[in-house]
Structure 1
Amino acid sequence: MASVDPDVGNASNPGLRSLTDGKSAMSHALNGLTSQPPGSSEGSWTPEDMSAVSEGENEDALRPAGEIGAADIRSRSTTAIPSDDSSIEPPDDNDNDQRTKKHDSSRESIQVIIQKSGNRGQYFLKADDPEFLEIVNAGIEREAAKLSGKTRSRLRDLVFTRQFTTFDRQNPRGAQSPFHGFFTLFWLSMALLLFKIAAQNWKDQGSVFGRAEIIHLMVDRDLVLMLATDAMMCLATGFGFLLHKAIAHGYLTWGRSGWIIQSLWEIWFTCGSIWVCFYREWSWTHTVFIVLHNIVLLMKQHSYGFTNGYLSRVYRRKQLLEEKLGQLEGMDAQEHTSPTSPSSPEIQALSATALDTSKSENLLHRRSIGPKYSTNFSQEQSEIALMAKAIESGEPLDAEQIHAFTRIIRTEITILDEELRGRSTDPTNAYPNNLTITNFLDWTCLPTLVYEVEYPRQDFINWWYVAEKFGATLGVIWVMIIISQAYIYPIVVETVRQKEAGMSLDARWKEFPWVVSDMLFPMLLEQLLAWYVIWECVLNVLAEVTKFADRGFYGDWWNSVSFDQYARDWNRPVHNFLLRHVYHSTISAFHLSKMGATLVTFLLSAVVHELLMFCLFKKVRGYLFAFQLSQVPLAALSKTKLMRGKDTLGNIVFWFGLFIGPSLITSLYLIV
């Protein structure tokens, strides 16, 4: 999991001043707004929602589309009037009054005008709400970048917003889904299946619970020790907090020794937990819990460590620039610089560039001149580095040059302040003020694997909702235990018995198809229930207790038409972690291509999955590793002409793989 310090600040927020295809970008951006956040009404804009406004209102809000701004989507309805004409005739006042009366009682409206500028492909937005402008402008710029092929991965690309999971009862989309009845049917079928198993157990063994071997595996041996080990793992994650407090106080630097210490600690943390499982010879129930929680805590430590490590370098760069700014302010301006000075032409060019940039761009939105994380001006190739060298050399500067250098350094400091603040709405939470024990404990409990200084939060905790989800967690786990006990455990025991009795490999291969077929349906059920209990129940409990508002823990992965889409949607927290700390980091740190970074990401994921199989079966076979990597060519196949546009066929291939995969892999580890 260790990697070189991620170059997550390599690309600053570019302000696109023209859109390659303005109409298409605008369409994409507005379509994205029809998916309303929690608390707002659902559906796309209707004619009743399109409230017109008279031209001339709120002229201060008029600005070119494309200036990027980060803002969380709030719970409110939006209204707009797209127009291809630069002038819009205001509608009848009576119509406006009727529409206002109809909607004001239920929700707040935002008046928006979209106007075409004099230049082709450029549009202007005019609205009463500056926050809404930020949302729309950011969406337009994203879509325009996609259309022009100029998208670049950045640390801050991941935005946390307020949303619910698909199957949560608080999600209006879930309650109004035309497939809601299938959800009811599934749980009714589960109830009838449990009743059948209980009746069969009573008939055969005189107890509705049967022999309950799995329950005994879970509670008879080392249960308290296993829980104590898990608590020690959680406490051990505090090492990262102490490390970064030392870095913030200047005892260590992230670029030299900090990231090495963090990486070595992550290796020791993982190996130590696995060693405990092997040393105590724990059952598979204990091993699965400890290893999976260890991997979760490892990812949390990595994100916390490497994100704060990057911010520590940004903070150090800001301090260095503030020192240069102080030196500039203490300089005495010269009437004329020496024409024979070898650096004078460079200085004059830099000052001319600074003056020209300040006239053409807003100070707060100008592009960063150098890498935001660099702290070595002697090796950096940027305008800021040249200015720092010129200031350090003590060469004479005239008043105009001092003024230009001061302006451009202050601009860079402003950009760095924004980077240190991240998504935080409170500037006092910016690095290093975020390095508090309260922030660290809060981060440890949050249901996300990507660290940010601040997240969208709810106003209160619904304890009835917590009780509901906690009860659902226990209930689903109980269902999983009963299905495993009735349909999986007997097959596993019999297969292991035959192997230990000396059955030849050839004879076991003959049993292999029957073992796979016997485990098809129970393994699929277990996979669905395991996903539901973790991503719908457990994570929602954590989110509610911590007031975490972004419940986008998964997408509609059941509609996947390729395995790469499934990999993105079924487990959003892990996908976001891999995207930021593996995919982006390998591109920036090792300068890999996008294809190379994708292969590294899949390779790491395959290694982690195989590690879990190794801990369970105490042997390395590589079956799951191979199946994980097979998703790469399958994903490539889905993008070929053979499969492109054939969504039903792609979904069939996806479900076929998901159906036979778990039973096939499990049978391979048991038989061979």
Structure 2
Amino acid sequence: MVTFAPRKSHFDIGNEASYTNQFRGFFTLFWISLFLFIVSTYIRSVEQAGSPLNLEFATMMSRDAMTLALSDAVLVLSTGICVLFAKAISTGWIKYYWQGILLQHLWQATMLAVAVTWTFNRQWPWVQSGFLTLHSFVMMMKVHSYLSVNGELASVDKRARALLGQLKRAAEDEGGWDAALQAAESAMIQQESPVEIGTPDVPLDIPAGSTTSYVDVRTVATLRQRLLAHSGKDIGPPTPSEILSNHPSEKIASLAKAHTELEYELTGSIEGKVRWPQNISFYDFAWYQLTPTLVYELEYPRTQSIRPLYVFEKSVAFFGTFALLYTMVETFILPLTPTPEQSFARSLLDLAMPFMISYLLLFYIIFECICNAFAELSYFADRQFYDDWWNSTSWDEFSRKWNKPVHTFLLRHVYASSISSYKLSRQGAMFFTFCFSALAHELVMAVVTKKIRFYLFILQIAQIPLIAIGRIPAIRRNKLMGNIVFWIGLYAGFPLLCVAYVAY
């Protein structure tokens, strides 16, 4: 359900498809217009107050900064415990099903509870509280994916070893292991279609005057496995199980095929160089922590080198965009913080545009600047951290596209897991995933605002009937209307939540 491939983000200047897009000029126009708007704001502020900014927001952000940095460092370093936990699972000291799963979830819940409690004890402003809570969620998801994948692979390895034992016993009944391999190789010769002469990778032994090519049995097996290899994966010469999958005995062939499939699961899907449990190490986990993904894999598509100029470009883009975001928040959002006495409609109108611009800037900072910079530093080649969410015609499409790392995590570890583990239907799994996501968002809002209101939870759950309505063929065909409704909802959503949580 989740695959990784070398891809570039939409707004990366190295993306050939985006660079040739007919609407690329509007991207440039957006930044120039925003820059001119901010400059005019600075000039107006200097004329009225004597300074471009009053730095009230900066004072709030820098409050208890050292404690926040140390707390975040402790949070990140504490996740290294899961390497020891995975080691214990791989050696059989802890059975993942179900003792390991219970310990894993207790630890994740404790980690999140400690972080949330700490933010309340420190009485931090909403910026610090929100940052640590969100980062705690990120760490919790990374830990969950790491342990879930390694726990599942431990189970797969156990089944693979049991199947290999059955396969060896079945081979002994057929005259021994070597005899079974020879019989399978002979069967492969008979099943293979003629091999094209002249292939560089195929050494041919053609006697003088002969019109028939003779190909080594193991060469034929290698060619066969190359055709079966997944997404260009170089698996090298065929394993005994791959050869025995062609054995005339149906019992041996079926056991060999089943063992081969399990071995594929235990091997990295990109280059095939990592086989579980070789991946369980502090070095591998640290690399995974640096990689901007929430789904753990034995292997990821990698780049060849780090480009210093690319990292510099993303760093400059980060600081420049953050300066714009800071100005927008301090000048157009904080002074207009709603109160119960203010007009509800007026507050919505005043905050709609500043919140939308701030959202776009924050999106660009996180998914284009930060994620791409960390991807470059970790040699991570899959840069599709978002898709064209601005073209969304429904809320389910938006939820799939705007935050791909979280979406892939929910898809694999919540949606798919609820179907396989709890036997839920697709509709039931979707509802469960929506509730899980909505509760997580509501927890963040409770920490930030110090209030429990469930406004955001209700709005997110309300998307489910809206999604069903949007799938009506008459509505689904009108993509322009769907996109207009989507943008109106996004425009209204941010100020609506702000007014609801702050004023009420």
- TM-score by length of structure 2 reads 0.84
Bigger proportion of residues as helix: 2
Match of 1:487 in 2: 332
CA contact (8 A) 1:161 1:456 kept: yes
Give the partner amino acid of 1:193: F
Which residue among 197, 210, 214 is the counterpart of 2:57?
214
Residue 443 of structure 1 aligns with which residue? 288
Report what 1:520 is aligned to: 352
Q: Secondary structure, in 3 states, of the residue corresponding to 1:421?
A: coil
Aligned residue in 2 for 1:202: 46
Do the aligned partners of 1:424 and 1:430 also contact (CA within 8 Å) in 2?
Answer: no
Q: Is residue 2:108 matched to residue 1:276?
A: no
Partners in 2 of 1:323 and 1:225 — Cα distance?
55
Counterpart amino acid of 1:254? Y
Letter matched to residue 161 of structure 1: A
2:409 counterpart residue number: 577
Match of 1:590 in 2: 422
Deviation string for 1:157-184 (max 9, x for gaps)? 3221111111110001222111111111
Gap regions ≥5 residues in structure 2: 176-186, 193-220, 229-246
Amino acid in the other structure paired with 1:450: V
Quick one: structure 1 residues 605 and 332, their matched pair in 2 at CA, closer, same or farther if it must change by over 3 Å? closer
1:455 Cα deviation from its structure 2 partner: 0.9
Cα RMSD over matched residues? Answer: 2.2
- 8 A contact 1:512–1:671 mirrored in 2: no
AA at the equivalent of 2:389: W
* Correspondence for 2:320 among 475, 492, 498: 475
For residue 328 of structure 1, report the CA deviation from its aligned partner.
Answer: 4.0
SS in 1 for 2:7: coil
Distance in 1 (alpha carbons) for counterparts of 2:58 and 2:126: 12
Q: Is the counterpart of residue 246 in structure 1 residue 88 in structure 2?
A: yes
- Please give the alpha-carbon distance, in whole angstroms, between the structure 1 residues aligned to 2:86 and 2:191: 40
1:551 CA displacement: 0.8
Q: Which of 94, 98, 101 is equivalent to 1:256?
A: 98
The reply on whether 1:173 has 2:11 as its aligned counterpart is no
User: 1:408 maps to what in 2?
Assistant: 254
Does 1 or 2 have the higher relative contact order (CA < 8 Å, sep 6+)? 2
Partner residue of 2:72? Answer: 230
Equivalent residue number for residue 313 of structure 1: 155
Q: Give the aligned partner of residue 36 of structure 1.
A: none
2:8 paired residue number: 164
Query: How far apart are the structure 2 equivalents of 1:605 and 1:437?
Result: 30
Cα contact 2:7–2:382 (8 A) shared by 1: yes
State how far apart, in whole Å, the 1-side matches of 2:268 and 2:466 are. 37
- In the TM superposition, 1:453-468 aligns within 5 A as 453-468=298-313
Give CA-to-partner distance per residue, 1:598-624, whole Å, 9 cap, x none: 111111111111111100111111111
The 3-state SS of whatever aligns with 1:548 is coil
Alpha-carbon displacement from aligned partner over 1:68-102 (angstroms, at most 9, x marks no partner): xxxxxxxxxxxxxxxxxxxxxxxxxxxxxxxxxxx
Matched, 1:630 2:476: no
Structure number, greater radius of gyration: 1
**Aligned letter for 2:414?**
V
Contact 1:328–1:402 (CA<8 Å) still a contact in 2? Answer: no
Q: Give matches, 1:327-342, under 5 Å.
A: 327-328=169-170
Task: Please show how residues 583-622 of structure 1 align to structure 2 within 5 Å.
Answer: 583-622=415-454
After TM superposition, give the deviation of residue 332 of structure 1 in Å: 9.1
Shift of 1:404: 4.4
CA distance in 2, matches of 1:185, 1:329: 70
**Any idea what the Cα deviations from partners look like across 1:341-377, whole Å, max 9, x if unmatched?**
xxxxxxxxxxxxxx9xx989x99799xxxxxxxxxxx
Q: Aligned partners of 1:332 and 1:176: how far apart in 2?
A: 63
Residues 535-570 of structure 1: per-residue CA shift (max 9 Å, x gap): 111101011111111111111111111111111111
What amino acid does structure 1 have at the position aligned with 2:34?
M
Letter of the structure 1 residue corresponding to residue 55 of structure 2: A
CA contact (8 A) 2:4 2:382 kept: yes
In the aligned structure 1, how far is the partner of 2:475 from the partner of 2:174?
70
Question: What is the TM-score when the length of structure 1 is the normalising length?
Answer: 0.63
- Report how far residue 239 of structure 1 moved: 1.8
- Give the percent of matched residue pairs that are identical in Structure 1 and Structure 2: 36
Counterparts of 2:255 and 2:313, CA distance in 1: 54
Separation in 2, partners of 1:299, 1:636: 29
Helix, strand or coil at the partner of 2:72? helix
User: How far apart are residue 454 of structure 1 and its match?
Assistant: 0.7
User: How big is the shift at 1:573?
Assistant: 1.0
Match of residue 275, structure 2, among 415, 418, 430? 430
Give the superposition deviation at 1:453.
0.7
Tell me how far apart the structure 2 counterparts of residues 604 and 588 of structure 1 sit (CA, whole Å): 17
CA distance in 1, matches of 2:290, 2:346: 43
Q: Determine if contact 2:130/2:448 at 8 Å carries over to the other structure.
A: yes
Distance 2:254 2:478 in 1: 53
Per mean C-alpha deviation after superposition, the further-off stretch among 189-198 and 531-540 is 189-198
The residue matched to 2:11 in structure 1 has which SS? coil
Structure 2 CA distance for aligned equivalents of residues 246 and 661 of structure 1:
46
Do the aligned residues in 1 keep the contact of 2:116 with 2:447 (CA within 8 Å)? yes
Q: Distance in 2 between matches of 1:653 and 1:325?
A: 59
Distance of 1:169 and 1:512 partners within structure 2: 42
Given the alignment, which residue of 104, 109, 115 partners 1:267? Answer: 109
The aligned runs of 1:374-385 (5 Å cut-off) are none
Q: Secondary structure of 1:449's partner?
A: coil
Corresponding residue for residue 562 of structure 1: 394
Secondary structure at the counterpart of residue 435 of structure 1: coil
Query: Which amino acid in the other structure matches residue 59 of structure 2?
Result: H
How far the C-alpha of 1:410 sits from its partner, in A, is 2.3
How far apart, CA to CA, are the structure 1 residues paired with 2:105 and 2:89?
15
Residues 332 and 539 from structure 1, CA distance in 2 versus in 1: closer, same or farther, beyond 3 angstroms? closer
Q: Please give the secondary structure, in 2, of the residue aligned with 1:643.
A: helix
Aligned equivalents of 1:528 and 1:231: distance in 2?
A: 28
Partner of 2:127: 285
Query: Quick one: which amino acid aligns to residue 224 of structure 1?
Result: M
Q: Alpha carbons of 1:172 and 1:331: their partners in 2 closer, same or farther (altered >3 Å)?
A: closer
Aligned counterpart, 2:489: 657
| Conservation of the 8 A alpha-carbon contact between 2:127 and 2:448 | no
Distance 1:404 1:661 in 2: 61
Q: What letter matches 2:320 in structure 1?
A: G
* Displacement of 1:424: 3.5
After superposition, what is the alpha-carbon deviation per residue over 1:389-431, rounded to whole angstroms, capped at 9, x for unaligned? xxxxxxxxxxxx995433332222111101111414134x111
> Aligned equivalents of 2:434 and 2:466: distance in 1?
12
Q: Distance in 1 between matches of 2:98 and 2:52?
A: 62
How many residues are treated as equivalent by the alignment?
Answer: 442
User: What is the distance in 2 between the residues matched to 1:448 and 1:648?
Assistant: 32
